[in-house]
Amino acid sequence: MRTIEVVLNSVMFAIVQTALTYLHTIKNLIVSSLTERLPVGITNHYTTSRKEISTMKTNPKLKTPEKALQTKSLTGLLEQSEDIKDLVEECVEELSSVNTTRKEIAGTHNQPTDVGDLLEKNEATEAKMGQAVDELSAVNQALEVEVDVHHLLKQRLNMVTQDEIAARHAAFHDPLTGLPNRELFVNRLEHGLAQAKRHGWNLAVMFVDINNFKDINDTHGHEIGDAVLKIIAQRLEQGTREVDTVSRYGGDEFLYLLMEFGDINDVKIIAEKITNVIAVPCQLSIGELIIKPSIGISICPKDGITVFDLIKRADEAMYVAKRTKSSYAFAQ
């Protein structure tokens, strides 16, 4: 809205300047057309009138340009702008009247009796238009400052909002993989349990562990180990449905929250899919590595109805899968 006001004032500023130029032209036409054929006394009267008009007081409706520049209230600036527009409308009416009279003068050879009044009106209109130019310039400058301040505040607010978003993301996401961390997973599991209870949905927790990950770190270093975790995290995230959540629980352990599945066969299909996705060879600087997971699965409400119970039972089932060298195992 403030930007629009500046634009409108700029347009008005241009109109006023154009009108002021036109007034000068009209005045010159009047003087040139009359002084050639009027007595010297009348010509001297025109000159005297111009001197008197040049010392006339400013329009009492308007503030001086200096005061306008000191105006800090946006409402005051907009009111000032409206006052200037009212003055311009008056000037336009006077300009029309002067122009009509000028045409009458140009079309007759008679000496008009109101020539002095005509020039005085022209000069008065010119003075008011000149004042309007100064006032509009001052108000526009003040409005532009207001707009700049508004944009600056908006920019800073956006920066604060972005900082808050970044801080919130950092608080609930793993810095290495970018996945939700343990806290966020627990929060979503709690929310999921409430929904499952309310709507009668099925819910499952999968505890995913990378086999022999310690050997990878010991043999190739933590840099390679971190690269493996990033690759696995990316693969798991890409294969996750919107209603589900995959998180890094810690170390080489990932937790998968599965919502709204049909039956146990759906869970098996997803577990096999996770196994196959992780088993795709990882292309690393040391060459190719093949990773295999062990997955433990707990089902709500069969294996528990709390966050603690479901994660604990899934963790126990994961060790069963490791011990039996299976890709996945269900809690018993």
Give catalytic residue positions: 252
CB-based contacts of 288: which residues, under 8 Å, 6+ apart? 281, 282
Tokens of 309: 């119970």
Cα Dmax for the chain: 124
Pairing label, strands 245-250, 328-330: unpaired
Cβ-Cβ contacts under 8 Å for 64 (sequence gap 6 or more): 58
Question: Which residue matches tokens 């020039």?
Answer: 119
Q: In 3-state terms, what secondary structure has residue 298?
A: strand
Q: Report the interhelical angle of 40-54 vs 115-172 (nearest 10°).
A: 30
Residue 50 has a CB neighbour count (10 Å cut-off) of: 15
Structure tokens at 70: 């000191």
DSSP 8-state symbol, 306: S
What does the block give as tokens for 305? Answer: 């109805």
Tell me which H or E stretch contains 84. helix 74-106
Task: Enumerate the β-bridge partners of residue 64.
Answer: none
